[in-house]
A = this chain, B = another copy of it.
Amino acid sequence: MKAKLTILGSGTSSGVPMIGCTCPVCTSSDPRDKRLRASALAEYGGLSILVDCGPDFRQQALAAGIRHLDAILLTHNHMDHVGGLDDTRALNLCERHPVNIYCQKYVEDSLRHSYAYAFAEPKYQGAPEWHMHIIDGDSPFRVHSNAGDEVLSWEKGFGYRHIENHSAPDAGVEVIPIQGWHHKVKKLSVLGYRFGDIAYLTDMNLLEESEFAKLQGLKAITLNCVKFDSHHAHFSLHEVLDFFDRVGAAESYITHISHLLPRHAMFEKILPAHVHPAYDGLVIE
C-alpha cells in the first residue's frame, strides 16, 4: 500500500526563525528556512493521519488545506508536539466527529493535565471532543476511517451530544510504532511511526536495538537533528548520518531543524547524496 508523507513542519521547538534572533538562518529569505514546529501528514490507504499537533497546527492545516483527519498520532508529550490540540475543535465542528488521538498512556495522562477542560465532566461548551486510543512501542495498531465514528450533534446551551453510529468499522490500515527515547538514559519514551515503506521518526537520541528490524526496506525515513553536536535529547548530525547509513532507506530526511544548522541551501550541499534536510511543504512518496 502506497504512502504519501507531507512535512507540515520541519523545525525545532522554537521554530525557525526564532523570535528575536537576527542570525543569517533566522533572517534568510529562502522559504525553506521558515520552519514551523515538527509535524507531518500521512496519506495512507485512503486515510489522513496527522503525526503530532504542535502549536502551529492551525497555520499548517490552513496552508495544507486540511479539512479532514481520520486520526492524530502523537510521538510524545512535549508542547511543540501537542500544543495545537485545542485547534482540533474546528474538525469537531466541520466533521461532526470526535477526533481520534493515538498515544502512549503517559502522554494521555499528561494531556489530562494540560488539557484538563477537554476531559472535564461536565465539559465547557465547545471544548474539544477526542477519542483517546492507547498504544505502545511494541504492537502494530490499526487506524480506521472516522466515518464509522459516533456523530456529534450541537445543542444550544449544552454543547455536543454524542449520537451512536452503528455502521461497522472499515478494515483500516496498520501502523508500526518504532520505540525511541529522548535522552540516552531512556528518560522519555518517544514513538516513531512506519506507514508502509515510509517511516517518520523525530525527537529521539536512542533507539532500541530491536527496532532496526522494523526499519528494513524503506523508501524513505525522517529523523531529528537540532544542531551539529550532541544535544541532551536529540541526535547529533554524526549520529543521524550513521543511523541513516545503517537503515539504508533509499532517501533520508533530517527534520526538527534549528537555526544552529546552516541555511537549507548550504545544509543540503554538505550532506551525503541520499540525505536531505526536510522543509515545510516537502512531499515524500
Contact = CB atoms under 8 A, between A and B. Distances in A.
Contact of A83 (B86, B93, B94, B125): B86
A19 B66 contact: yes
Copies of this protein chain in the complex: 2
B80 A86 contact: yes
Interface in A19-58: 19-21, 55-56, 58
Interface stretch (A10-18, A143-151, A172-180, A262-270): A10-18
A160 to B, nearest CB: 14
A157 interface: yes
A114 B110 CA distance: 9
B87 A19 contact: yes
Nearest to A15: B58
Nearest to A95: B20
A20 B93 contact: yes
Contacts of A125: 232
Interface string A137-157: 000000000000000000001
A250 interface: no
B87 A14 contact: yes
B114 A62 contact: no
A17 B232 CA distance: 39
A202 B83 CA distance: 23
A166 interface: no
Contacts of A89: 13-14
A158 to B, nearest CB: 10
A90 interface: yes
A261 interface: no
A84 interface: yes
Contacts of A20: 61, 66-68, 90-91, 93-95
Interface string A105-148: 00000000111110000000110000000000000000000000
A115 B116 CA distance: 11
Interface in A212-239: 232
Given A18-B93, A19-B66, A20-B95, 7 more contacts: A14-B87, A19-B91, A55-B86, A113-B113, A113-B116, A114-B116, A125-B232
21 contacts: A13-B86, A13-B89, A14-B58, A19-B58, A19-B94, A20-B61, A20-B66, A20-B67, A20-B91, A21-B90, A55-B55, A55-B84, A56-B59, A59-B59, A79-B115, A79-B117, A113-B113, A113-B114, A113-B116, A114-B114, A114-B115
